[in-house]
Amino acid sequence: MKALLFLLFISSNAYAENNLHLYSSRLVNTDNDSLLELAVSWKNDSGTGGVTLLKREGVFFKEVSKYSEKNYTPFFVRTGDIDNDRKIELLVGAFDRAIGGRNGFTKKIHIFKIEENSLKPFWFSEREYDDFECVRIGEKNYLLELKKVDGNTSVSIFLWDSFGLWQSHSFISSVPLSIERIHDEILLKGENGKYLEFFELDGKISVRIYGVNE
């Protein structure tokens, strides 16, 4: 599937004529129609990076919006209704030199609104991370972040509240964890075929462990 998306991506003349390197891609339906858009993160040989929204036209994708920045090198692209307004946002993981300053690049999350086929910067995180995803728990969407700390895995869950993401739950796992998508469900993968699933109980977030076949 990724290979197909990459071929569709580079088939656009505007991109084929430039030395762009694809980092990540995610299909997204921004306007609830039958045609999916494609969000891609990229970097060119000059060091400029960005994220582009492409809309399908026949067998090709056409660029409809692009955000680029010389200090911005994106790699992850995720999607989800992170602020629970029933509209899909792009969550882009980036090495951001502008924030990192003289110490070099730091890993940050940039969130973009998609309005009338246009990418508009909405919010960025000052925290560092190793992986993230938008996950639904109960009736709300949350930002799930993982970070490796001294051989452990730090797990944090954030809820959007008016002006930003606020931490609502966190824990440290001595077992290595990774984010995995199974049947459109976001889970934390542990060891020996075990998974951690988040659920809401009495208004609080809890975690249960189970095997993938249970």
Q: How many CB atoms lie within 10 A of CB 165?
A: 21
Q: Are residues 200 and 97 in the same domain?
A: no
DSSP-assigned beta bridge partners for residue 107: 95
Give 18's pLDDT tier (boundaries 50, 70, 90). Answer: low
Out of 67, 102, 128, pick the residue that ends a domain. Answer: 128
Give 213's pLDDT tier (boundaries 50, 70, 90). Answer: low
Q: Which pLDDT tens digit goes with each residue over 143-184?
A: 999 998 888 999 999 999 888 898 888 899 988 899 888 777
Q: Which two tokens stand for residue 210?
A: 């189970």
Residue 188 has pLDDT above 60, yes or no: yes
User: Which DSSP category does 87 fall into?
Assistant: S
Amino acid at 98: A
Out of 84, 113, 128, pick the residue that ends a domain. Answer: 128
Separation of first and last alpha carbons in the chain: 28
Q: Are residues 158 and 115 in the same domain?
A: no
Q: Are residues 114 and 160 in the same domain?
A: no
The residues near 150 (Cβ < 8 Å, ≥ 6 apart) are none
Structural contact between residues 22 and 40, judged by C-beta atoms closer than 8 angstroms: yes
Residue 3 has pLDDT above 50, yes or no: no
User: What is the model's pLDDT at position 142?
Assistant: 94
Q: Which pLDDT tens digit goes with each residue over 56-111?
A: 777 677 788 888 877 777 778 888 999 999 988 998 887 666 554 545 556 788 89
Structural contact between residues 132 and 181, judged by C-beta atoms closer than 8 angstroms: no
Q: Are residues 142 and 96 in the same domain?
A: no
Q: Are residues 148 and 211 in the same domain?
A: yes
Structural contact between residues 212 and 193, judged by C-beta atoms closer than 8 angstroms: yes
Average pLDDT, the chain: 79
Ramachandran angles phi, psi of 202, nearest 5°: 55, 40
Q: Which pLDDT tens digit goes with each residue over 33-58?
A: 667 788 888 887 777 788 888 887 77
Domains in the chain, number: 2
How far does Cα 3 stand from its chain's mean position?
Answer: 19
CA distance 190 to 130: 16
Q: Which domain holds residue 187?
A: 133-214
Give 32's pLDDT tier (boundaries 50, 70, 90). Answer: low
Out of 70, 101, 128, pick the residue that ends a domain. Answer: 128
Residue range 204-208: mean pLDDT, rounded = 84
The residues near 12 (Cβ < 8 Å, ≥ 6 apart) are 54, 60, 61, 62, 63
Q: Are residues 10 and 92 in the same domain?
A: yes
User: What is the model's pLDDT at position 41?
Assistant: 84
